[in-house]
Every structure is written in C-alpha cells, then in structure tokens.
Amino acid sequence: MIQEYFAPQGARELLAQHGLDNFAALWALQLDAVDAPNTSRGGWSSVYRLELTDAEGVARGFYLKRQDNHLTRSLRHPLGEPTFAREFRAIKSYAGQGIPALKAVYFAQRRLNGHRQALLLTEALDGYEPLSTWFQSWQGLGWRGKQRLILAAAKLIRSLHQAGKVHQCLYPKHVFLKVDDQGADARLIDLEKTRRAWFGQADYVADLGSFSRRSGAPSRTERLRFILAYLQKSHLDNEAKAFIIRIQKRIEAKERR
C-alpha cells in the first residue's frame, strides 16, 4: 500500500484537476528532465519542471523528482531508503521549525518488482535566483543590493544553525533569494543531507566553510559583513575573530586535501 502525502493547501484538488493525484499518474507523466539523471547510487534519480493551471486559471510551477533504486543507507535504514524520503522528512522538519526552505506538495514511495521508487513534488521557487547566479552580476548590484542579499543569506543560515541543524551541502547554488522593494527573502533547497548538529559549533563552521569556499564574488569586507550579521554583532570583537579563524582553518584544511 502506498502512503501518500499531499500539502494541506489544496494540493490534492489541484493534482486531481489534472488527473495527477496518484503515484502511477505522476510516475507515467511524460516530461523533459531539467538535467541529466543522477546514477551515482546504482539506480537513477531525475528532476522535471511541471506547470499546472489552478481553478482560477493561474499557472503554477513545480518540480517533480522521480527516482528508482536510488538509495541512501544509515543506521536507521541499513538496507537503504530513497534519498527523496530523507529529503521529504527534512522539508517537513524545516517547516516545523520555521526554517525557510522549499515546500513539499506531494510525496510517496513504493516497491514494485524489486524496485524502490519515490516521488517528490515541490513548489518551484519562481521569482527566486540561487546566490551563485546573483554572484555572476555581483559587481553591478550596488551597495544596497549586495547588502540585502548578504543580510538575507546570513539570516537564513543563522536560522538553520539556531535550530540545531546543518545542511552539509551548503553551497551558494542551494541558497535561493528574491529581492523586492521590501528587501530580500531567502530559502534553502537540496535538503537530503541535512542532519542534527551533533558536534555543535564545529558543524556550523563546516557548513560556513563550504559556503565561503564557493563564494568567490564578495570582497573581504562583504564576507566580514556576512559573518557579523550571522553572529548578530555590530562590530568585530574577539569572539567574532576567533570564529572567523576557525572557518578559515577549515577552508585551508579542505584545500590541502
């Protein structure tokens, strides 16, 4: 028996309107993949763009993720489970703790002829761009534009760490931001490696080290502004200096490898 999750805000009705309110229909849907399938775990996993018109005639964007025998193993699941099952739990956990992230619309998994299959449908973050894309035009954004992005990203990552979680794949391409007259809003994606911060600040330093290593565009001053915003400090004190040194040592250790 397939156990299905539908988001409470009319997801089942919208999918039913298009004949897509079940696993078989979503699995059989013919769509073009947004990139090449991931075959790193012995099975395959792929992502597709899906657009559906709601009852008011408004087009809504989604991403449909499908995978077959693409498993991750853990102490809780030594024989493996679909990686989307882990990501779905993380999405629900983030929502419960108020950490801004992508939203799940539908999730289900099944066993069929020896295959472990899973589906995850999420709302598209239309209007948002990954920070890695913002970095491509960084020098033309001006002080105010950069400030909004820096503060929004710092606030997002602080909320993640204050909740006692680490992303474990915290790259600029996984931080999505939208800028308007009110400021900037940030969301996290790709949550399948998320876990509790078992090692406290060492885990947070590892997350921030990964993020910093891949953030080539900001200047040294802008990076400092980010760290101070993350720490909720107005100036560089001894605590902030020690924290920055730990991040830099982490980066240097990774680069030596």
Tens-digit pLDDT profile for residues 43-83: 999 999 999 999 899 999 999 999 999 988 877 777 778 99
Q: What is the DSSP letter of 80?
A: -
| pTM score of the predicted model | 0.93
> Boundaries of CATH 3.30.200 in the chain?
4-123
pLDDT at position 7 is: 96
Q: pLDDT-based confidence at 229, cuts 50/70/90?
A: very high
Tokens standing for 56?
């008011």
pLDDT at position 256 is: 83
Q: Would you say residue 14 has pLDDT above 80?
A: yes
Contact 119, 107 (CB under 8 A): yes
CATH of span 129-256: 1.10.510.10
Class of domain 4-123: alpha beta
> Boundaries of CATH 1.10.510.10 in the chain?
129-256
Give me the residue label for tokens 């503060």: 151
What span, in angstroms and rounded, lies between the C-alpha atoms of 240 and 233?
A: 8
Angle at 38 between CA 33 and CA 44, to 5 degrees: 90
| DSSP letter for each residue of 224-238 | HHHHHHHHT-SS--H
